[in-house]
Chain A
């Protein structure tokens, strides 16, 4: 408890009044970016900050649009910070379906969240993540 009492005022000093509006704005910015953003080029898909159950419907729509495309699809994961089972499951189905059809998926950028989550769920092989991320 001693530590705590000492820390409380320190925190108050660190975050004076005006900090709040700025913080609020950043929450909004995050919310906007967390949507699955459809990139300009059709063959590329940039994943948002979050690919979780909340965004799964949108993600599925984006993936479904590209699943049968004949050109290679590049999935950019560099913005991705959070992904859950719902998101990974969609990506896994997408990659598997493309592979079955002899079509290519490439990963662009690095996302520790994706690496860790895919490893935990045992989906690394299925997502063909092993050598692909960072390319």
Chain B
């Protein structure tokens, strides 16, 4: 269940250096005597996040140093310590030291410990001095926040209730404190963002004798004004992630604003896509309420706040709509370019060669442009994977199993839309592996396996697709039980013998479950068929491999994007169709002898010891073919839903990436067709959906 953190190191260094620049800038602006609370908050946040990050990554020297620094800054922030020239100098020196430490760690060089410990000592001295010398300096008036603690009778001020507000439910797990997170600090940061209403839930706090001092028993319900950016709130809880339940929801205003003002988000507001390789913090939270219209800066709207200027320089947030628009335009360009290329190939004359060279260059540039735009939409699959360690731990505990979760290939990138839809199927599969796959520790030991089972999630690119694999080293599928169950349900005749793939196919049948008792996890038979349907909706396929006693593997193959498909164009009469490459097994020319005619009109071809039904596309789509004789055309062996068929076509035209235009959005659903595209000559080609074709064909045969 360990996540390889080294992959985040670069991002951490990059962000830390940027943050230190911001901190330095803020320090230089800090007025001795009357410090701007905003600046102190900025400085504090930098120290806090570097501390959290370095502690997470095990850079203990940096963590220890920043801890001292943070303590000092906390004093400044709470107003118990004035900002003096000496102090701001000390803080600037701290920036230098932190930068040097980060550079050293980054370059895997030793840290100058002497310099660090000297300065750390100075920091400690400064803290101790202030604690002694100025006990009465606590002036909440100079502090950076206002707290409206909700009294039992009063509640929040009525004026505040009218405006939209954030409601934050923060329920730390017991171990939050032990992990070095202090809710007090988080709430203080929240209070710095705006007027904070606090209500504590102390119901879980046991009698004093039972309190473990290192555990956290309190939970909070908080409210902040609606103009605070959601990102800023999430950032406060960033380091507590995984150690608390957190929900942030937007409460609409009661009357103050006209309804339209809230209902019409500008494009920038609509679900911002984290474009950079930022830490997966915000993407993990389920529901995204519409964020407030503010820059993604952690500092509350202060035009001169240095964080907004420096902290975000590495990436920008762009709305998905804008990218889709761009994508669409690029798609149109691709079509125009294909049209020009086709035209250009017919030209003759002195300049024809130059024209074609230019068109060739245009095509290359087009492809690059298309790929760049696609890459903007790509996010690493770690955004999905990151939810699993916690889930596996909880499930394993509940089921009394010992399970290690292995994650590999988290950096594999795929389109955001695909990414969003792959989460649920994966959750199903992982749950299944834990519930059905991995045996209890006793059973495992009895079978000669280690007590701890392994669930492995892997992702990798294969051609234009991404393969996501969920495997476990559990008991594998129980052939006999599945067969018995299928016979009992009448899915299989009492004397039928089934091959392994056919048995595997059974678990995808809706309502099929072999679990002896339904748990709240799985066993109700609604899982696998939904998984397959979801995967199919994404244009992907799911395969299952299982070895009794050794475990099972589910392999999901998905297109990297839903906007473009790698296709094989085939000719049927005067029409062109696109067969997705992912569905094609092989294409071949048939000999007259390779075909067997069965009763009725159906024909089968012999293919590697198997007999595959032949679907004549011209019949299915009512097109006049070049030839009706099977040996004069070609057969494309295609696979869908675990079944293979031969598609009879006149000719293969070529492979190309095509931009998918939704037929359903523009016309309506047709069985066997997943979409359409526009070819270079301006004509429309239908993109075939092989599983749908098989269904359509079998319905025709049956009719």
- Interface residues in chain A, defined as those with a beta carbon under 8 Å from any beta carbon in chain B: 1, 3-4, 7-8, 10-11, 14-15, 23-24, 26-27, 29-30, 49, 53, 56-57, 59-60, 63-64, 67, 81-82, 84-86, 88-90, 92-94, 96-97, 112-113, 115-117, 119-126
The answer to whether B57 has its CB under 8 Å from any CB of chain A is no
Complex contact B214–A121 (CB within 8 A): no
Residues in B with CB closer than 8 Å to A120 are: 147, 184, 187-188, 191, 196, 198
Residues in B with CB closer than 8 Å to A115 are: 140
- Interface residues in chain B, defined as those with a beta carbon under 8 Å from any beta carbon in chain A: 28, 78, 80, 85-86, 88-90, 92, 121, 124-125, 128-129, 131-132, 135, 138, 140, 143, 147, 149-152, 177, 182-185, 187-188, 191, 196, 198-200, 202, 205-209, 211, 213-214, 216-218, 220
Q: Which residue from chain B places its CB closest to the CB of A3 in the assembled complex? A: B28
Q: Can you name 30 A-B residue pairings with CB atoms under 8 Å?
A: A7-B85, A7-B89, A8-B89, A10-B85, A10-B89, A11-B86, A14-B86, A23-B128, A26-B132, A30-B132, A53-B177, A60-B208, A60-B213, A63-B208, A82-B131, A84-B182, A85-B177, A85-B183, A86-B177, A89-B205, A89-B217, A90-B208, A92-B205, A116-B138, A116-B143, A120-B147, A121-B187, A121-B218, A121-B220, A122-B198
Q: Which of A29, A94, A119, A121 contacts B183 (CB 8 A)?
A: A121
Contacts A11-B85, A121-B218, A121-B220; A49 near B131 (Cβ below 8 A): yes
Complex contact B208–A23 (CB within 8 A): no
A96 to B132, CA, bound (A): 32
Q: Which residue from chain A places its CB closest to the CB of B96 in the assembled complex? A: A4
Residues in A with CB closer than 8 Å to B89 are: 4, 7-8, 10-11
Complex contact A117–B184 (CB within 8 A): yes
Q: Which residue from chain B places its CB closest to the CB of A130 in the assembled complex? A: B151
Q: Which of B129, B200, B206 contacts A121 (CB 8 A)?
A: B200
CB distance from B193 to the nearest CB of A (A): 13
Complex contact A60–B150 (CB within 8 A): no
A122 to B191, CA, bound (A): 12
Residues in B with CB closer than 8 Å to A97 are: 207-208
Task: With a 10 A CB-CB cut-off, give which of A30, A89, A97, A123 has the most chain B CB atoms.
Answer: A89
A133 to B658, CA, bound (A): 74
Contacts A4-B92, A121-B198; A27 near B124 (Cβ below 8 A): yes
Q: Which residue from chain B places its CB closest to the CB of A117 in the assembled complex? A: B184
A94 to B211, CA, bound (A): 10
A41 to B171, CA, bound (A): 39
A63 to B209, CA, bound (A): 9
Residues in A with CB closer than 8 Å to B205 are: 89, 92-93, 96
Q: Which residue from chain B places its CB closest to the CB of A88 in the assembled complex? A: B184
Q: Which residue from chain A places its CB closest to the CB of B79 in the assembled complex? A: A112
Residues in B with CB closer than 8 Å to A63 are: 208
Residues in A with CB closer than 8 Å to B199 are: 122
Complex contact B208–A26 (CB within 8 A): no
A57 to B135, CA, bound (A): 25
Residues in B with CB closer than 8 Å to A126 are: 200, 202
Chain A binding site: helix, strand, loop or mixed by DSSP? helix
Q: Which of A7, A14, A85, A124 contacts B149 (CB 8 A)?
A: A124
Residues in B with CB closer than 8 Å to A27 are: 124-125, 128
Task: With a 10 A CB-CB cut-off, give which of A81, A88, A92, A120 has the most chain B CB atoms.
Answer: A120
Complex contact B216–A4 (CB within 8 A): no
Complex contact B214–A86 (CB within 8 A): yes
Complex contact B187–A112 (CB within 8 A): no
A26 to B129, CA, bound (A): 7
Q: Which of B125, B149, B207 contacts A122 (CB 8 A)?
A: B149
Residues in A with CB closer than 8 Å to B28 are: 1, 3-4
Residues in A with CB closer than 8 Å to B220 are: 121-122
Residues in B with CB closer than 8 Å to A121 are: 183-184, 187, 198, 200, 218, 220
Q: Which residue from chain B places its CB closest to the CB of A57 in the assembled complex? A: B213
CB distance from B88 to the nearest CB of A (A): 7
Residues in B with CB closer than 8 Å to A29 are: 128, 132
Complex contact B184–A84 (CB within 8 A): yes
CB distance from A67 to the nearest CB of B (A): 5
Complex contact B128–A7 (CB within 8 A): no
Complex contact B187–A23 (CB within 8 A): no
Complex contact A119–B207 (CB within 8 A): no
Complex contact B182–A7 (CB within 8 A): no
A3 to B269, CA, bound (A): 40
CB distance from A30 to the nearest CB of B (A): 5
Complex contact A26–B213 (CB within 8 A): no
Q: Which of B135, B143, B147, B213 contacts A86 (CB 8 A)?
A: B213
Complex contact B208–A56 (CB within 8 A): no
CB distance from B87 to the nearest CB of A (A): 9
Complex contact A30–B131 (CB within 8 A): yes
Complex contact A53–B152 (CB within 8 A): no
Residues in A with CB closer than 8 Å to B182 are: 53, 84-86
Complex contact A113–B150 (CB within 8 A): no
Complex contact B198–A89 (CB within 8 A): no
- Starting from the known contacts A27-B128, A119-B198, A122-B220, 11 additional A-B residue pairs (CB-CB under 8 Å) come to A7-B88, A7-B89, A8-B89, A60-B211, A82-B131, A85-B182, A89-B205, A121-B218, A122-B198, A123-B200, A124-B149
Residues in A with CB closer than 8 Å to B143 are: 116
Residues in B with CB closer than 8 Å to A10 are: 85-86, 89
Q: Which residue from chain B places its CB closest to the CB of A83 in the assembled complex? A: B184
CB distance from A55 to the nearest CB of B (A): 9
Q: Which residue from chain A places its CB closest to the CB of B92 in the assembled complex? A: A4
A86 to B182, CA, bound (A): 8
Q: Which residue from chain A places its CB closest to the CB of B181 in the assembled complex? A: A85
Residues in A with CB closer than 8 Å to B183 are: 85, 121
Complex contact A26–B88 (CB within 8 A): no
Task: With a 10 A CB-CB cut-off, give which of B78, B128, B206, B213 has the most chain A CB atoms.
Answer: B213
A115 to B139, CA, bound (A): 12
Residues in A with CB closer than 8 Å to B187 are: 120-121
Complex contact B202–A96 (CB within 8 A): yes
A134 to B280, CA, bound (A): 47
A67 to B209, CA, bound (A): 9
Complex contact B184–A67 (CB within 8 A): no
Residues in A with CB closer than 8 Å to B121 are: 24
A3 to B88, CA, bound (A): 10
CB distance from A65 to the nearest CB of B (A): 10
Complex contact A119–B149 (CB within 8 A): yes
Complex contact A81–B135 (CB within 8 A): yes
Contacts A1-B28, A126-B202; A89 near B211 (Cβ below 8 A): yes
Complex contact B177–A92 (CB within 8 A): no
Q: Which of B86, B128, B132 contacts A15 (CB 8 A)?
A: B86
Complex contact A85–B129 (CB within 8 A): no
Q: List the 7 closest A-B pairs by CB distance, nearest first.
A: A112-B138, A56-B213, A122-B200, A122-B198, A23-B125, A93-B208, A120-B187
Q: Which residue from chain B places its CB closest to the CB of A58 in the assembled complex? A: B213
A34 to B188, CA, bound (A): 23
Complex contact A116–B78 (CB within 8 A): yes
CB distance from B339 to the nearest CB of A (A): 58
CB distance from B90 to the nearest CB of A (A): 8
